[in-house]
Structure 1
Amino acid sequence: MTAPPPEARAELAPDGRLRAVINLGNPILARRDSATGEVAGVSVDLARELARRLGVPAVLTVVQSAGESVDALASGAVDVGFFAIDPKRAATTAYSAPYVLIEGAYLVRQDSPLQANEEVDQPGRRVAVGARSAYDLYLTRELRQAQIDRAPTSPEVVDHFVAHQLDVAAGVKQQLQADAQRLPGLRLLPGRFMVIEQAMGMARGKAAGAAYLGSFVEDAKASGFVAAALKRHGISGATVAPPR
């Protein structure tokens, strides 16, 4: 990959640092080590690698939810972030192509009558989802009859679902699988209800920076960087997105 043009460096790191927001709400992308407190994951690796190529230090702002990531970018507190591609967010965010694809799934109780994803959108069904997550945005558009009940963050969805005796929990399949192992009497519905395209993003109106960011993501996929990061962090169930 060629060196970044000065214009791209100025737009991605305007104060001589790459300020990146890291969302812990999606465990496939980033996690905090409970013993050391260190944050690690695919998004952390990508942020640091982009900073290295720009020749600037990486400064990470760690948040707990997708909504906080969006707010951090919109306010100018950070220069880049890691987001699920969604048309609502595209109004203010310039996305790269996706770097990983993640499945969104539904979780129910063992004794639930629901057996398929298509059965969820029925009158009287209450679906728990993380507020302002990709799943929230998608289901807000797609569900016509079921009611959405929002948990504060995606990692809190299943506990919210249990505490409020809701009918369905929606979120990252791997997170739901872990919660089903943690709490008895729960099961996932077969398959998926959506595929989430996870991309890097920056504020709109910065053409040189956005072009370089897009090229960086394509190179990270083609070179095996993303695949190696997934393997290094023990992530299963997410796949490297195809080339643009």
Structure 2
Amino acid sequence: MSDVPQPTRRLDRCVIELTGCSRREAENFIAGGWVRVDGEVVEQPQFPVTGQAVTLDPGASAAPAEAATMLLHQPAGLDAAAALAVVTPESRWDEDPSGWRLLHRHFHRLQAAMPLPPGASGLAVFSQDHRVLRHLADAGSRLEQEWLVDVEGELSPYGWKRLSGGTTFAGWPVAPFKVSWQSEQRLRFAIKGVRPGLLDWLCAEVGLRATASRRLRIGRIALAKMPPATWRYLPPSDRF
């Protein structure tokens, strides 16, 4: 006698039957990565289930899943599109302190915010969250950024005193900034309104040639010890 085929049901229907929740709550459980089919997380409510075991992780929440923001240690020489390709599930920083669950939905429709100037490395931001994207677009020029710049050459006498008191670049005023030597060939800038070419120009104005630049911080958010080509989540509680 042949086996009777088992009916196929949508995953969200299985979750409703398992928990007694509403369809919206079932979709939120699934989108949040709390639902497993034969032990594997499935994030699609329409996933077909035919006899597999459907389970809900302990501590599951039916709250809508948060949009993700990722912080990348961008290697030098990449534009925003090439840098986004580095943000993959495999390149997540092993020591990411956010506590966020890694979901495949977090890698959809990411947009760059305050992209690094050409040739620079360091802290880059990619987000799905329209609130983060809008904030950095509107207020980014007013957020202090911290940069390390490797230089060659000899500093002109009184150069930084003249420039840090106020100057213009490409027709735009340069906000007052702080600069100090971190080593004999490396400067640390704390500066707002960084535009492509600005740091190179500031160095050239005082007799130095910038050879490399790395962004360490935007506002209150720092690169920390994250290795190049790795990323971590920005929790919603953290603010630039």
> Do the structures match in fold with TM over 0.5?
no
Higher relative contact order (CA 8 A, sep 6+): 1
Max radius of gyration: which structure? 2
In the superposition, the TM-score normalised over structure 2's length comes to 0.31
In the superposition, the TM-score normalised over structure 1's length comes to 0.30
